[in-house]
Amino acid sequence: MPAPPKAETPGVAVKAPEVPKVEVKPTEAPKEAAKTVEVPLPEKQPTRQPMAKVEEPKGKRERRYTIQVASLVMERNALSLKERLEKLGYSPIIRKTTAPITRHWVRMGEFTNREEMEGMARRLNVDGFPSNIVDLGQGKLTLEIGSAFNLNDAIDLAHNLQKKNYTPKIISKPTPTPVHQVRVGEYGDRAEALQAIEELKKQGFAPVLVQQ
């Protein structure tokens, strides 16, 4: 038979065992991972239009030629040549421009004493060589007996001075000089222009081809 329950002792309170308090910290919400936003591409990519080509006018591409028969310093010589070409059936034109042409001066002496220089000038004049005074700067003077664009002409003058026991010298340097270019014809075909040059050479000229 089961044992009978024990009788409680009156007046004695029974305490329940204490449960330790557990402090619960609030948990942080998990951070959301960074989202990648995809932008949808358009259904059809726009096609690039080719750049428009600008065509140069045909007139600018076309080469034109003319023939230069001579380039002369003296206008009267250019007019004389023009007249000669007209008699041969050409229609020449004279084009005036400026070009750096080498000029040759025949000079003599370098003086610091003006009286000495004037005495030399009188001697030259008596011997048939008139001269001009040229100031070289820094108190120096010289006598210029002549000048020429053709070197041979300057050399001839210097030789004539040497025959009279003078001691000349030739000074040469490029100088911007007005020139008269005598030209004939206007050609769109190079071969045609070269053929015309050969015809001019037969007439005793020394022409050159010039592209306009």
| pLDDT tens string 167-197 | 999 999 999 999 999 999 999 999 999 999 9
pTM exceeds 0.75, yes or no:
no
- The whole-number pLDDT of residue 212 equals 84
Rg (CA), the chain: 54
Q: Return d(Cα 122, Cα 200) in angstroms, integer.
A: 49
- The whole-number pLDDT of residue 18 equals 57
Mean pLDDT over 15-35 rounds to 51
Is the confidence at residue 126, as pLDDT, over 80?
A: yes
- The whole-number pLDDT of residue 43 equals 56
Q: Are 78 and 209 in contact (CB under 8 A)?
A: no
Binning pLDDT at 50, 70 and 90, where does residue 62 land?
A: confident
- The whole-number pLDDT of residue 20 equals 52
Mean pLDDT of the chain: 82
% of the chain surpassing 70 pLDDT: 71
| DSSP code string of the chain | -PPPPPPPPTT-PPPPPPPPP---PPPPPPPPPPPPPPPPPPSSPPPPPPPPP-PPPHHHHS--EEEEEEEESSHHHHHHHHHHHHHTT---EEEEEEEEEEEEEEEEEEES-HHHHHHHHHHHHHTT---EEEEEETTEEEEEEEEESSHHHHHHHHHHHHHTT---EEEEEEEEEEEEEEEEEEES-HHHHHHHHHHHHHTT---EEEE-
Mean pLDDT over 57-82 rounds to 87
- The whole-number pLDDT of residue 1 equals 46
Binning pLDDT at 50, 70 and 90, where does residue 47 land?
A: low
Tell me phi and psi for residue 208, to 5 degrees.
Answer: -135, 150
- The whole-number pLDDT of residue 61 equals 59
Query: All domains of the chain, ordered by start, with CATH?
Result: 61-211 (3.30.70.1070)
Residues 6+ apart with CB under 8 A from 180: 71, 72, 73, 74, 75, 77, 78, 94, 95, 96
Q: Return d(Cα 75, Cα 34) in angstroms, integer.
A: 91
